[in-house]
Structure formats: structure tokens, C-alpha cells
Structure 1
Amino acid sequence: MSTMKLEIDAQTGVPLTDQLVNQIESQIRARRVLAGAKLPSIRQLAADQRISRFPVIEAYDRLASLGLIQPKHGSGFYVAGHVDEANRSHGGCDPRLAEEESSQILQQFNYPGETLKLSSGFIPESWRDVEGITQAIRHASRVDVSSVIDYAMPYGDATLRHQVQMRMQLLGIDTDLKNVMTTSGASQALDLVVRYMLKAGDTVFVEDPGYYNLFGLLKLQGVKLVGVPRLANGPDVDAAEALLKLHQPKLFFINTVFQNPTATNVAPQVAFRLLQLAQQYGFSIVEDDIYADFQAVPTQRLASLDQLDRVIYIGGLSKTLSSSLRIGYLAANADLVKNLVDVKVLTSLGGTRFSEAVAANLLERGTYRKYLERMRRRVRDALSGAVQQLEACGWDVFDEPSGGNFVWAKVPGIDDSTVLVDEALKFDVTLAPGNYYRPNGEACAWVRINTAHTGDRRAMRFFEAMGERAGG
């Protein structure tokens, strides 16, 4: 019989069913309740929590619909099992690793009820230029009918690639069109690089903490991850150099600006040293610059120093313009881009021509530029307020961000952020624990907070309660 620790509070205003679902789901996903464990009966759980059976019945039904628990007739409810050891891929990847990583991503979308998703990676819909997008959609439908029905060009829409090329020039990255390809979001760009340049058993360096979707993608391919600590000015170059004496990575994945999750930037001296190490030890750098458009005044990019010799540069519009249009891009030396285009065609035939036409229209007509000016002001205001609020409540901020929509924060005295995850549920708030952002899931005191949501009363009550706990 599973011994779940649940804390249900009828005074919070959060429906009892939602509280049960959120807390049980969190414990299952965090593996604090193991696969195959038997859950308390409906009667027992209701009695333990001193509530009626109806919210328990509804909660179990919802958890079963999510595939997290399984009812067994005449026996009770059990935590759903996972892929057997025998079903491992002969490519070197344990499917259970892929399942665990993907579940972390899906939690941004799948939390039941109307909980405040305080760790989400999205800016609110109200901040987006929905009207500008719909106008561009109507324009593309009217003047470019082929974009509605035909396949995309393998390299991507030429107008969009030219716009990307000009945006990269503003960052000091000089390219020709042959160096640029479009992708279905930055995620596909990363996937293409991993597919083409790595094989099972290869070693790569990643940032610790870093982007958990990337970690899952690499593990899916059987690639070995070595974490390099991320400091306020970028990857710890001394630690990286020490690790290079022990490992031979093929690639080093780096988030340059407003890094996910710490919101820090790579300093110029760190960028120079990283490129020196890449030359000395023979690895390439994948520069993930997905948050570039949040930055009003550009800082140093690795690709601007290297001019696409050992650097593969990745960006996109999903974080700012539209997550649905799925517009990403990649820049690298021409031969590598050609080979990556071949992989793109083999795996997806191409991009989405209509989405590319819409994005090209928005960039070409200046609509996107005007939207960015408005969006950056909102992000800046939210960020400033969030940092002040957290510090006033007694939280520690990793390094005060200069931009972006994340803050990496912790509560003094709490060494494992899963405690914060459990406490947040009492306030109708969902958080991703800090171990999600570490290459091998190590315990972590920190959590990522989306600053767009810190003004919500639920977040404010949660911050205050945790600060009082630390101070008390």
C-alpha cells in the first residue's frame, strides 16, 4: 500500500478534486510513489483527509484518464507501470528515460484544472500580437495561395531566410543565404544537429542547469551528457577545461542570452575562452539563442566571434511571435547546412510553407519589430517587479537578470525544491522542481519562475508563505 503524503486544505478555495489530482500527480511524476504501488481505497483516502468520497472518486477518475493510475476490478487503484527493461532500444536509449524527460515537458500543458503554471516557458496570450498575426495570415492566404497547399522549399522560404540573415547581421554574424535554413521551431534545429552529428555512446557537454528538452533529446539518442556548471557570466570555463581532460565531447550546447533557466548572459571574456577551448580540444559549439529577440541591446554572441567556423547558431520566433507557427532557424557553414537540409527532407519533407510565409510577412512589413518593442517593455516591467517581490519575501535570486522572462530563485534553508513544488500546490500553483533542469536529475534548491505570472495573487501568497517559513 502506497504511503502518500497529502495535505488537503478546504479553506484555500481550490477545489478538493484539483488538490488531490495535483498532489498525487506530482508525487507519481517525481517517482515518490513508484510504479505498481497500490493507492489507498476511495473510502480510506476520504476518511484520512476527512472529506467526502465524491472528490476522491473524481480525482481517481481524472488520474486514470491521464494514464497515471490504473483501476483493477475488485482490487483497487495502482500507479501505472512503465516500459519494461526488455523493450530498450538497441540504439542505446532506455525508453523510460525518454518517457521521464517528456513528462517534464508535458507538465507545462497537462496540469488539470486552472492552476497557475508558475514555471511555464510561455509569455501570456495577451502579450502576443494576435491581431498582427491574423492580418498576416489573411495576407498570405490572399496573395500566396501556393503557400496554403504546397510543400515548403527544403532550405525554407527565401524571404524569411533573408530576414533572418539581416537579423543575424545586427548581432555581428555575417552570413550568406546558403548558410541559413529554416526549421520547425528551434527544437527541430537541435534535433537535426543531434541526428546528424551524434551517435549512441558519444559525449557532449551541456550546461548545468540547462534546457531539459535538450537533455531528453540527447538521452533518446543514447548520448552521454556531462554537465558544466552555469555561472552568472556563462559556463564555468575552469570547470569545462578540467572536464575536457577527462572527456572528449563532440559538441557543447550553450544558451547564450537569458539562459534557460538562470536568465544569465555569456560574458565576452567567457565567449573568447570557450572558443579557444573548442579550437584546442576539437569540439564544436551549438549556440542556442532562442531568447535573442527579448534583448533590446545585443551583447556578444559566440557566432559573431567565430563567424560559423566551430559554432552552429540556432534561433527562432516561437518564444516571442507564436508558439503555434513553429518558426526556427539554423546557421552554420554551408556544407553542414546542406547536409542538415538533407536530414530535414528525409525526416519531415520540409517545413510548413504557410507558417513561413506568415512569418516572412510579419518581419518584412515591420509588424514584428513594432511588436517586439511593446513586448520588451512588458517583459522588463514584469521582471523588475518579480525580482523586487521575491527579494522582499526573503527569496534568493541567482543573479538579477537584465532581461528575459525567467528568474532562477530559491528559498533559504530549503535544499530540495521538490518541497516547494508540494507547498505550491496548496496555493493552486504548479512548479517544476529544479532537478528537471539538471542533466542527470540531481537534487536542486532552485526553481524557474516565469515573471509574467508573479503578479497573480496565488503566486504572491505562495512567495510570502515560503518567505515566512524561511524567516521563521
Structure 2
Amino acid sequence: MNALPLHINAGTGVPLTEQIVSQIEALIRSRRVLAGAKLPSIRQLAAEQRISRFPVIEAYDRLASRGLIQPKHGSGFYVANHVDERDSHASNCDPRLAEEESNQILQQFNYPGETLKLSSGFIPEAWRDVDGLTQAIRQASRIDVPSVIDYAIPHGDTTLRQQVVMRINALGIDADLPNVMITNGASQALDLVVRYMLKPGDTVFVEDPGYYNLFGLLKLQGVRLVGVPRLANGPDIDVAEELLKLHQPKLFFVNTVFQNPTATNIAPQVAFKLLQLATQHGFTIVEDDIYADFQAVPTQRLASLDQLDRVIYVGGLSKTLSSSLRIGYLAANRELVKNLVDVKVLTSLGGTRFAESVAASLLERGTYRKYLERLRKRVRDSLSSAVQTLEGYGWDVFDEPSGGNFVWAKVPGIDDSAVLVDEAVKFGVTLAPGSYYRPNGEACPWVRINSAYAGDRCAARFFEHMTEAATARA
């Protein structure tokens, strides 16, 4: 057969075997490679990708064990005639899949002496209020000694929950203490929702592009992902309506403000229509508002329109205050919160009382509010500078970012950002390919740029090089 449209990159940190398996599986399940088709031989595929035969051998073995391909003695490997959909759920729960998804997350961590993580999801340490944090930590150690050794209550620290209630009330969400629970970061909030509300084989809608950690979590639970294109004003409602004729999603996961990775906000008319569809088709919306605190003047939230009827609202402090404290929260109707707290008790007993005590102190004393004012200015300035830099080098920016610290950008003439990933390594820069942000890992020309690092000299040299390379190709 002709060469498979694979994009294998040894520099991403993801094992070559995992890359081959996931990409061939996606081709088979999307019917881009049809049943009965002959696959390239092990030697041919290894030569095409310029890699050793060993990862190809292991990848073909895994695909055969999943029932996706069939080896025929003396003839080669062929796509199976019948791909059982149940196999997709089983493979999604494969721990090897979890390893692949986690590798995508690990690449954004930066350590001394390593490359510039240009796609990182974190703000720099120098931008954090380290002095305010350490002072609050010392205070909690002195006046709340039990917090150093005891579990937090399952719902979370009462003072912290009161602070969260005030914060979401300010967004127009009519909530009280029984509507709110504290979680170990927003990730745990999403995990609790998935554990309680979904089972293997269920279908959910997600944004395309969207949050890859969520995609991995859903796949790990054997949940079907259906991507809805993300436009500059929110999910593409027209496409969502067409997809609802074919699917019955249990949940729709949406980033309302400074969406990851496009940095766009949902428009009021889109929010209204989305809630109408939720009512008509009986699905629940999970509103991931983790970047809320980067926004100085609040815009429309789904939860403020719906008042926690068909919306579960998720937020947190990790993106701004401290990733180490792992403070997230969830707001929903009282009965659902009660049930989710039960799941939390079964899976983790409780939160970290000390972290919750520190966070409560920072919010209650106004330290966090003053810090946010400084942080928003730094983020706003770096975002403006990053957009100006990228556009100056001829890159395309996905709409004008409305805030946050991400820029979703591409180089004109380059259809697959895997090319950018390969070239970035030459300049001491690590990028995550745009395919990471798509539900099924499809090729994508876009990449996520963290504006905080876009001014680095290594990044500037890389931006310029890619523009010159694209011009030379044209």
C-alpha cells in the first residue's frame, strides 16, 4: 500500500510505539484506512519514518491484540474486516493509553538546563506572589496547627468555600455553601464528574481544539469523544446541532473564558443557544472556567444564565496563585454536589487542609486580589507583545486573543505543526504539536504559544526561522 499519513516525531518525548499505535488506530476508526487494506511492511514503515523496526514491530503487535489489524503469514498485515466498537472502549482503558496521554502533559514542565517550553501551560515563577504565599504559609503553620496534620473536611474548608461563593456570586451565579465543594485542583473536579456521571461507551461533546488532559481522562474511562469546532465566539453551534442528530451526549465540556488553547471567549448569543440545546437534548454542560481570574471585567458565564440547573461550574486557583497548592472548586445543584462529595470521600478521603487554609487566608485578607491586579497587567502586556511579535514575523494568529496567556498561532503554508515541533528543537525550544489539542489527535497546523515565553531570544530566532522556511517552500 501507499505510505500511511503518519507524523512520528522522536523529539516529542512520546514513545514511538505509542505514536504509531494511536495514529494508525485513529486512521482505522475514522475509516481513512478501510477494512481489508494492507498496511506497509514493518521494514517499509520503519524506512519511511526513519526509525528502528522495533517500535513498528511492537506497535503492530498491539494493534493486532486490539483486533484492529490481522497478520497473514507470508503476506503481511491487514486492517481487520470487523472492528468491534467495544474494542475501542477496552483500548481506551488500556494503561498504555494513559502513559501516552500523560507524556503529552509532562512535556510542558520545565526544569533547569532544559529547553524553552514554549507551549507550557504555566506562568513563570517570577510572576507569582511568592512572598505573599510564604507569609500565608507561615501564618497557617502558627495559628492553624491542626491543618498541618489533619484531613480537610470532604466539602472543603468552610472559609475557603465562603470565599468561592462570593467570587462566583460576583459573576452572577446564585450559589450558596451547599452548592460548592473544594477539590484537589480543577482536574479532580473534572475527574469526579466523569466518574459519577459517565460510564464506558457514553458519548460526550468536547471542543476541537480543546484541553488535552480532559481528552485523556475521558479516553481512560472508555468514553466516546465527539469534537465540536471552537470558533472565535465559542463552540460552532451549527455543527453542534448537526452532531446532535447523530449522537446523544451525556455532557458537553466547554471553556467559557480564555479558552485553552485559542484564548477566545464565548459570546452571549452562543451561550444562550447552547443552553437551549442542552434543554432540548437533555445533556449537561460542564463549564471549565479555570482562567476566570485572568479576566478583570467579567463576561458572560453559562452558569450565570442557567443558575446551575444544567451547568456544572468548575474553577480553581492553580493557574494563578499556586500550582503546588492544588486548589480547585466545583459549583452545582445541591444534590449533585452531595453525590460528588461521596465520590471524593471514596477516592481520596478529603483534600489537603493545609493548602486550603493557606488559600483561604490569602483570599480573606485581600492578598490574592492585590496580586491579581499585578498579574493581569503582566499577562496583558506579554500577550500584546507576543501577538505583535508573531504577526511581525508573518505568523497567523487565531482571532485576536481576548486575554489569558495563550496565543493559538500558525505559519502560513505549513499544514501540520509537527513540522514546527521538529524545527523548534534546533533552537532549544520544545513545542507541543497542534494535534495534542484535538480530540482524536488529528493533524493540525496550529500551535499553542505561552505569551510569557514568546519574548525569549530562542523563541524569536525560531519564529523568524519558520517564516523564512515557509517562504522558501512557497
* Corresponding position of 1:28: 16
The residue type equivalent to 1:149 in the other structure is: I
Inter-CA distance 315–191: structure 2 relative to 1 (3 Å threshold): same
Q: What SS does the aligned partner of 2:279 have?
A: helix
Who is 1:306 aligned against?
306
The one-letter code sitting in structure 2 at the alignment partner of 1:243 is L
Superposition pairs of residues 114-153 of structure 1, within 5 angstroms: 114-153=114-153
Tell me the alpha carbon deviations over residues 347-390 of structure 1, each in whole angstroms, 9 at most, x when there is no partner.
00010000000000000000000000000000000000000000
Hey, what does 1:183 align to over in structure 2?
183
- On the 8 A contact 1:91/1:200 being kept in 2, the answer is no
The residue aligned with 2:210 is 210
Displacement after TM superposition at 1:109 (Å): 2.6
The equivalent of 1:224 in structure 2 is 224
**Counterparts of 1:440 and 1:336 in 2: how far apart (Å)?**
30
Distance in 2, matches of 1:445 and 1:213, equals: 20
Distance 2:365 2:378 in 1: 22
More displaced stretch, 422-431 vs 106-115: 106-115
- Give the counterpart letter for 1:31 in structure 2: Q
Partners of 1:24 and 1:193 in 2: how far apart? Answer: 30
Give the corresponding residue for 1:41.
Answer: none
| Corresponding position of 2:98 | 98
**SS of match in other structure, 2:323:** coil
| CA shift in 2, pair 1:138/1:280, >3 Å | same
Aligned-pair CA distance for 1:90: 5.7
* 2:158 corresponding residue in structure 1: 158
2:260 is matched with 260
SS in structure 2 of the partner of residue 108 of structure 1? coil
- Counterpart position of 1:54: none
CA distance in 1, matches of 2:271, 2:214: 21
Determine if contact 2:397/2:410 at 8 Å carries over to the other structure. yes
Identity between Structure 1 and Structure 2 (%):
78
Q: Contact between 2:424 and 2:431, CA under 8 Å: does it hold in 1?
A: yes
**1:96 Cα deviation from its structure 2 partner:** 3.1
Alignment-mate amino acid for residue 338 of structure 2 = K
Report if aligned partners of 2:17, 2:55 keep a CA contact under 8 Å in 1.
no
Q: 2:93, 2:220 within 8 Å by CA — same for their partners in 1?
A: yes
Length-normalised TM-score, structure 2: 0.83
Bigger Cα displacement from structure 2, 136-145 vs 22-31: 22-31
- Report what 1:467 is aligned to: 467
2:314 pairs with 1:326: no
Tell me how far 1:471 sits from its aligned partner: 3.0
**Cα gap change, 1:395 to 1:99, in 2 (>3 Å):** same
Deviations 1:402-426 (A, max 9, x none): 2100000000000000000000001
d(CA) in 1 for partners of 2:305, 2:368: 27
Q: Aligned AA for 1:426? A: K
Residues 135 and 229 (structure 1 numbering): CA distance in 2 closer, same or farther, change over 3 Å? same
Mapped to 1, the partners of 2:248 and 2:290 lie a distance apart of 26
CA–CA separation in structure 1 for the residues paired with 2:372 and 2:112 = 32
How many angstroms apart in 2 are the aligned matches of 1:376 and 1:386? 15
Aligned-CA RMSD value: 2.6
Amino acid at match of 2:336: L
Q: Secondary structure at the match of 1:199?
A: coil
2: CA distance, partners of 1:442 / 1:418: 11
For 1:11-50, what per-residue CA distance to the aligned partner results, in whole angstroms no more than 9, with x for missing partners?
xxxxxxxxxx973846838836999x99xxxxxxxxxxxx
Query: 2:278 aligned with 1:290, yes or no?
Result: no
TM-score by length of 1: 0.84
2-side partners of 1:108 and 1:443: how far apart?
Answer: 20
CA distance in 1, matches of 2:57, 2:150: 43
Question: 2:14·2:104 contact (CA, 8 Å) conserved in 1?
Answer: no
Quote the offset at 1:94 in angstroms.
3.0
* Correspondence for 2:407: 407
| CA distance 1:33–1:316, change in 2 (3 Å) | closer
Structure 1 residues 239-250: aligned runs within 5 Å: 239-250=239-250
What is the one-letter code of the residue matched to 1:332? A
Going from structure 1 to structure 2, the CA distance change for 1:345 and 1:266 (only over 3 Å counts) comes to: same
Amino acid at match of 1:23: G
8 Å contact from structure 2 (residues 271, 302) kept in 1: yes
CA distance in 2, matches of 1:111, 1:382: 22
TM-superposed CA distance for 1:437, in Å, is 0.2
Distance 1:26 1:342, change over 3 A: closer
Q: Mark the runs of 5 or more structure 2 residues left unpaired by the alignment.
A: 1-8, 25-41, 44-50, 67-86
Paired with 1:29 and 1:406, the residues of 2 have a C-alpha distance of 30
Structure 1 contact 344–350 (Cα < 8 Å) conserved: yes
Segment of structure 1 superposing worse, 91-100 or 270-279: 91-100
Q: Tell me which residue corresponds to 1:443.
A: 443
Letter of the 2:372 counterpart: L
Amino acid at match of 2:104: Q
**Pair 1:276-2:276 in alignment:** yes
Aligned length, in residue pairs: 416
Q: Which moved more, 1:241-250 or 1:461-470?
A: 461-470
Q: Do 1:394 and 1:470's aligned partners in 2 also have CA atoms closer than 8 Å?
A: no
User: Where does residue 387 of structure 1 map in the other structure?
Assistant: 387
Do the aligned partners of 1:429 and 1:459 also contact (CA within 8 Å) in 2? yes
Q: Deviations over 1:66-120 (max 9, x none)?
A: xx99xxxxxx997995795769986962333322211111112378942000000
Aligned partners of 2:323, 2:17: CA distance in 1, in Å? Answer: 25
